[in-house]
Amino acid sequence: MRFVNRIALAALPLLFACQTVPPATVPKATPIQAPLGPPPKPRIALVLGGGAARGFAHVGVIRALEQEKIPIDMIIGTSVGSLIGAIYAADVSSFELEWTAFQLEKDDIFDFGVMNAVAGMGFAKGDKLEAWVKSHIKPANIENLRIPFAAVATDLNWGYKVVLDKGSLARAIRASAAIPGVFQPVQHQGKILVDGGVVDNIPISVARARGADIVIAVDISANVGNTNITNLVDVTLQATNIMFALNVEQSKKNADLLITPLGIGDIGMLDFTQKKRCMQAGIEATQKALPGLKQTIDAWVAARSRSATPAP
């Protein structure tokens, strides 16, 4: 019996040595999260509508946006909107924009002449406007502007909307602002062009087609009612106002933010005496709209950030 016990005691170490040792428990590694990058930024387009002398309201809109550091990634303009937009796109300074725009007078644009109307296709040729642009905006071509830019005109032969985004800046602005009956049509890029407001006075669709995520549109349309029509120029301008108002009603619905400067709808298209009034109206309308714009931008950023976040 003692012999058996001794054998059993001697075998115990071997028995325990043959048992499987459970693996050591390794704590789970905490996944390392990559550092978050900057939040996405929307491409913001500023769309400036036509309205001749009321276009000085665009200067106030741009000043207010710049003061609030709202980035502008592209500018699309029709008629006077193309002129004001191009001045800003060239320099990206609301101070320089105001300085340059306020030098503009009616006689710098309208080269009226009796023979123009009799022998041509408009009261004014448009040479003065083109020369003014060349002397006041440094880049000669649209491609050289600091902010991507396009001017909208109308193909007079076929009624198509024409987007001018390359080539001569002065010629593009002249074509975009060639109010039918007031200015002679413009030969450009193999087409006969007139004011873009004929087909689209607030060309929001152009901004969308060029990849804009958020569109700020500025409507400076006139009050359509007018009982002071006394000559052929008045008739032409009133017909133009009616035409512009009709297509604005359709296009402005597609803006993320529509800015409508108040109290300037009664200013005549050729009245360059109300520059300060128009500019102040643009500032005030933009300041009023800024909270809604910032909410729109924040909502866009939040939605894109959520879609970019991988599922756990």
CA-wise closest residue to 48 among 196, 167, 178, 156: 196
Q: Are strands 44-48 and 214-218 parallel, antiparallel or unpaired?
A: parallel
Give the residue numbers marked as catalytic: 79, 195
Q: Tell me the CB-side half-sphere exposure of residue 212, using CA atoms within 13 A.
A: 27
φ/ψ of 154, rounded to 5, equals: -125, 130
d(CA 63, CA 260): 15
Q: Tell me the CB-side half-sphere exposure of residue 3, using CA atoms within 13 A.
A: 0
H-only helix segments in the chain:
2-18, 56-67, 80-91, 94-101, 106-109, 114-119, 127-136, 169-176, 204-209, 232-251, 275-308
DSSP label at residue 272: T
Hey, what are 220's tokens? Answer: 């400076």
How far apart, in Å, are the Cα atoms of 106 and each of 128, 138, 197? 10, 21, 20
Residues whose CB falls within 8 Å of the CB of residue 2, separated by 6 or more in sequence, listed in order: none
Residue with the two structure tokens 């007078």: 105
